């Protein structure tokens, strides 16, 4: 049989009319009986389909040959037909005689396929028909080629599988096992126990979802202490919304069951073992409660969808934003294909599909911009009036959600924050809840448009507004601490700019920004050398060096937005922690310094100056008017910038110390100008030096 080039699969087929298939494809056999006509394929001009041995034979049966053909009965339109099963054939064949027995219209369609014998003889079928064929286990609609040169119906390999007449069986590579270890390695699951001992176990926490279903969570407090957290940046809602400028069509997708879409390896799975009334079990997928779960989940989503333009993801919430329906559909198809490949599942009940307005991460997103979620606003306004400090603190915490939308949010909370004091009398005004419903619409941040920041300060706090083309993008406000409230006005105004730069860092870093302030001295201080500024201003200016800010004076009457901003009680705005400092000062003994403080307290003019330095002054304070914005109080001493203001009763002592070395008039005046100030100081020094001259 070495000269036979038939396919190995022909071993499944046997013979027709007591002549084997091998005998039909064997040249030796065909030489012995030239009357046998065997068709092995159906082909057109370019290809052929192998169908095994299709034979119309006129030879007599050979008694000594064993019939090993494989047959099965199937029904077509109620007619039982005995088919030969040829798993080496690629097509099905029905003789004309069988077609004539089938009831109903059977009209073969013309076909260009040819039946080709092994020796090259060609024969054209009468046509091709589609017939419903029913076997014992299955039913299928099959394509049959009608032949007038065959008297045996044939089912090919594909039809045999469709009708479940044959079953593919793979040969065993090895059937013998020589050692016990080899047996255990071949079937490890058979020799594994029903459970494994665990060193630790976690508690189970069940929470109810909004739709009433339950979420199974882990309480892995001890496990979290041992987990090395995988840090990965998770975008904030502000960062996502800043990329939505110019978008008008949105879709929201929610990943079903969130963290459970991430499989755990075996060691990690065993660490997530938990107790239950029915025994101990362990999670095979990432459970809720693991401290690194959010970063791992975010990294997986960004790896899968992060490079698709218009797709933004926070945790399991995905927003697709597009400027046209065509762009939207193209993005959506990419997302679906990626999800299919990565086996990501979405929640069909939570889809917000192709809409102009969507709810995302607590905000309402529209083509015009952002506005707060009405449901969250209603939750705040429907809260009962707080009856104790804890309830008031909860209310203030909820109103922080609306802070970026309400310019007057801080001023509304001022009387509420006062109620948190120990000696405060409880008071509640309904107008606070009403004002929370008047939030304006914020514009989307657009990186192509110029940026402007408006800042302002008051006696209680600071406020800022980020704008583009005169439209608000974001509001910010924060309170001043007791120490910061004693700053000079110029220090407060610069502190407001520093606060705004920190708050809007993600928007302004690396960009040129126009800062508008109603405090004109800031223009001058920004133009001077850093070393010429007072120590506190120097520290603020140093922190502003990384930003490209152009500070311009704008009268307060033209700053309608920032002037509305007050402050809420959030602690110190300017976290001033001087680790090391170097100051050039003239040494004063502790006794002299204490005397200076006492003289300052006793000087009524300086005390009035501290109280009224931001407003109009009377005649006694007129001489201090030019430097009113530089005045501050540090450690009980009144300062004009970086110079000490000497009280009237202490000026004689200072003059004597200035002239103790009996230097000339110019050197004495230069020494005084470095660190001291009082009205008429130069004239007093000149009179003292002239009297001392010989």
DSSP conformation letters of 265-284: PHHHHHHTEEEETTEEEE-S
Secondary element (H or E) of residue 377: helix 374-381
pLDDT of the residue at 82? 92
What are the Cα distances from residue 342, in Å, to 113, 301, 306? Answer: 43, 10, 13
Which residues are CB-contacts of 51 (< 8 A; sequence separation ≥ 6)? Answer: 39, 40, 41, 42, 86, 89, 90, 91, 92, 93, 154, 156
* Residue whose entry in the numeric block shows the structure tokens 């975008």: 235
Closest alpha carbon to 57 in 21, 82, 6: 21
Residue 391 vs residue 261, higher pLDDT: 261
Q: Which pLDDT value is given to residue 291? A: 85
Q: How confident is the model at residue 282 (pLDDT cuts 50, 70, 90)?
A: confident
Backbone angles phi, psi at 218, to 5 degrees: -105, 150
CATH superfamily of 203-365: Reverse transcriptase/Diguanylate cyclase domain (3.30.70.270)
pLDDT classification of 532: cutoffs 50, 70, 90: confident
pLDDT in tens, 375-407: 666 666 666 677 777 777 767 766 665 666 666
Residue 68 confidence (pLDDT): 57
- Residue boundaries of the structural domains of the chain: 8-162, 203-365, 370-435, 451-564, 590-692
pLDDT for position 5: 38
How many Å apart are CA 257 and CA 261, to the nearest integer?
Answer: 7
- pLDDT for the residue 44: 42
Distance CA 618, CA 308 (A): 67
Q: Say if strands 548-553 and 512-517 run parallel, antiparallel, or are unpaired.
A: parallel
The domain 8-162 belongs to what CATH superfamily?
A: Acid Proteases (2.40.70.10)
CA angle at residue 77 from 76 to 80, to 5 degrees?
A: 50
SS3 label, residue 383: coil
The three-state (H, E, C) secondary structure of 348-370, written as one string: HHHCEEEECCEEECCEEECCCCE
What phi and psi values does residue 445 have, to the nearest 5 degrees?
-70, 130
**pLDDT tens figures, 574-616:** 444 444 444 444 456 778 788 888 888 888 888 877 765 444 4
Alpha carbon distance 586, 660 (integer Å): 13
**DSSP one-letter string for 615-665:** S---GGGGGGGGGGGGEEEETTEEEETTEEEPPGGGHHHHHHHHTTT---H
**Mean pLDDT over all residues of the chain?**
75
- Give CA separation, 243 vs 307, 313, 345, 363, 674, in Å: 14, 12, 25, 15, 52
Any idea which architecture 451-564 has in CATH? 2-Layer Sandwich (3.30)
What CA–CA distance (Å, rounded) separates 202 from 218?
7
For residue 207, the cross-strand partners are 215
Comparing C-alpha atoms, which of 59, 80, 79, 83 is closest to residue 69?
Answer: 83
The token duo for 411 is 């001023």
Helix 409-418 and helix 389-399, axial crossing angle in degrees, nearest 10: 170
Cα separations in angstroms, 252 against 258, 445, 498, 637: 15, 20, 37, 60
Residue 72 pairs in a beta bridge with 83
Lowest mean pLDDT among 318-327, 499-508, 578-587: 578-587
Question: Alpha-carbon distance 352 to 209, whole Å?
Answer: 19
User: For position 37, what pLDDT does the model report?
Assistant: 41
Pairing of strands 19-20, 15-16: antiparallel
| pLDDT beyond 60 at 558 | yes
Q: Cα(602)–Cα(494) distance, rounded to whole angstroms? A: 31
pLDDT at position 205 over 90: no
Residue with the larger pLDDT of the pair 154 and 30: 154
Residue 265, both tokens: 């390896």
Q: Which two tokens stand for residue 282?
A: 């362990």
Question: What pLDDT is attached to residue 9?
Answer: 34
Determine the pLDDT at residue 629. Answer: 67
Given the candidates 1.10.10.10, 3.30.460.80, 1.10.340.70, 3.40.50.10790, the CATH classification of the domain at 590-692 is 1.10.340.70
**How many other C-beta atoms are found inside a 10 Å radius of the C-beta of residue 15?**
19
H-helix or E-strand spanning residue 537: helix 535-543
296 or 643, which is more confident: 296
**Residue 348 confidence (pLDDT) above 70:** yes
> pLDDT tens digit string along 635-690?
778 877 778 888 888 888 888 888 777 777 888 888 888 888 888 888 888 888 88
Tens-digit pLDDT profile for residues 430-440: 544 444 444 45
Per-residue confidence (pLDDT) for residue 508, from 0 to 100 = 87
pLDDT value, residue 33: 44
The percentage of residues in the chain with a pLDDT greater than 90, rounded to a whole number, is 10
Q: Would you say residue 572 has pLDDT above 70?
A: no
Rounded distance, CA 554 to CA 516, Å?
Answer: 6
**What's the confidence (pLDDT) of residue 429?**
58
**106's tokens:** 């059977």
Whole-model pTM: value is: 0.43
Q: Are 133 and 75 in contact (CB under 8 A)?
A: yes
**For residue 344, is pLDDT > 60?**
yes
**Arithmetic mean of pLDDT, 146-157:** 85
**Are the C-beta atoms of 321 and 249 separated by less than 8 Å?**
yes
Cα gap 376→69, rounded to integer Å: 77
Instruction: Mark out the alpha helices in 163-292 (DSSP H runs).
Output: 180-186, 221-226, 237-241, 266-271
Pairing of strands 203-208, 154-155: unpaired
For the segment 28-72, what is each residue's pLDDT rounded down to a tens digit?
A: 444 444 444 434 344 444 345 555 555 443 333 333 434 556 899
- With beta carbons less than 8 A apart as the criterion, state whether 671 and 659 touch: no
Beta strands 79-85; 71-76: pairing state: antiparallel
């Amino acid at each position: 049989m070495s000269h036979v080039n038939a396919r190995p699969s022909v071993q499944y087929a046997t013979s027709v009319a007591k002549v084997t298939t091998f005998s039909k494809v064997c040249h030796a056999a065909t030489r012995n009986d030239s009357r046998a006509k065997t068709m092995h394929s159906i082909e057109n001009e370019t290809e052929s389909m192998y169908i095994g041995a299709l034979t119309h034979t006129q030879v007599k049966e050979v008694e000594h040959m064993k019939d090993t053909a494989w047959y099965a009965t199937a029904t077509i339109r109620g007619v039982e037909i005995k088919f030969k099963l040829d798993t080496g054939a690629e097509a099905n064949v029905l003789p004309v005689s069988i077609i004539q027995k089938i009831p109903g219209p059977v009209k073969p369609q013309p076909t260009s396929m040819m039946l080709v014998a092994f020796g090259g003889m060609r024969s054209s079928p009468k046509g091709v028909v589609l017939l419903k064929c029913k076997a014992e286990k299955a039913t299928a609609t099959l394509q049959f080629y009608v032949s007038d040169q065959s008297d045996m119906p044939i089912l090919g390999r594909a039809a045999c599988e469709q009708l479940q007449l044959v079953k593919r069986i793979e040969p065993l590579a090895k059937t013998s096992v020589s050692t016990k270890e080899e047996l255990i390695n071949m079937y490890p699951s058979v020799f594994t126990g029903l459970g494994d001992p665990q060193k630790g176990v976690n508690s189970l926490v069940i929470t109810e979802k909004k739709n009433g279903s339950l979420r199974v969570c882990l309480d892995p407090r001890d496990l979290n202490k041992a987990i090395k957290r995988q840090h990965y940046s998770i975008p904030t809602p502000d960062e996502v919304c800043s990329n939505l400028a110019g978008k008008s069509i949105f879709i929201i997708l929610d990943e079903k069951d969130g963290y459970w879409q991430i499989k755990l390896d075996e060691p990690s799975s065993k660490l997530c073992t938990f107790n239950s009334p029915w025994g101990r079990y362990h999670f095979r997928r990432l459970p809720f409660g693991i401290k690194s779960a959010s970063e791992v989940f975010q990294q997986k989503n960004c790896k899968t969808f992060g490079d698709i333009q218009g797709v933004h993801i926070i945790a399991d919430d995905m927003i697709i934003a597009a400027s046209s329906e065509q762009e939207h559909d193209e993005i959506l198809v990419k997302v679906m294909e990626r999800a299919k490949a990565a086996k990501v599942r979405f929640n069909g009940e939570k889809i917000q599909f192709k809409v102009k307005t969507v709810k995302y991460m607590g905000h309402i997103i529209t083509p015009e911009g952002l506005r707060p979620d009405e449901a969250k606003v209603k939750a705040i306004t429907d809260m009962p009036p707080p009856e104790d400090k804890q309830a008031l603190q909860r209310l203030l915490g909820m109103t922080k959600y609306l802070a970026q939308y309400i310019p007057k949010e801080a001023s509304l909370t001022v009387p509420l924050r006062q109620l948190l004091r120990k000696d405060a009398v409880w008071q509640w005004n309904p107008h606070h809840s009403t004002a929370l419903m008047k939030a304006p619409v914020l514009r989307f941040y657009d990186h192509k448009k110029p940026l402007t920041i408006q800042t302002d300060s008051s006696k209680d706090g600071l406020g800022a507004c980020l704008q583009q083309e005169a439209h608000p993008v974001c509001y910010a406000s924060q309170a001043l601490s007791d120490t910061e409230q004693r700053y000079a006005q110029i220090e407060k105004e610069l502190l407001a700019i520093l606060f705004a730069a920190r708050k809007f860092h993600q928007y302004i870093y690396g960009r040129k920004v126009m800062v508008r302030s109603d405090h004109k001295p800031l223009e001058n201080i920004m133009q001077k050398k850093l070393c010429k500024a007072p120590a506190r201003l120097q520290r603020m200016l140093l922190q502003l060096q990384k930003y490209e800010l152009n500070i311009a004076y704008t009268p307060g009457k033209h700053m309608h937005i920032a002037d509305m901003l007050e402050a809420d009680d959030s602690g110190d705005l300017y976290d001033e922690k001087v680790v090391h400092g170097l100051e050039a000062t003239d040494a004063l003994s502790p006794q002299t310094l204490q005397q200076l403080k006492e003289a300052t307290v006793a000087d009524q003019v300086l005390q009035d100056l501290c109280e009224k330095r931001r407003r109009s002054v009377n005649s006694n304070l007129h001489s201090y008017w030019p430097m009113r914005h530089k005045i501050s109080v540090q450690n009980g001493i009144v300062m004009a910038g970086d110079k000490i203001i000497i009280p009237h009763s202490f000026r004689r002592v200072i003059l004597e110390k200035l002239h103790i070395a009996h230097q000339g008039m110019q050197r004495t005046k230069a020494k005084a100008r470095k660190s001291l100030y009082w009205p008429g100081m130069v004239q007093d020094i000149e009179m003292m030096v002239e009297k001392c001259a010989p």
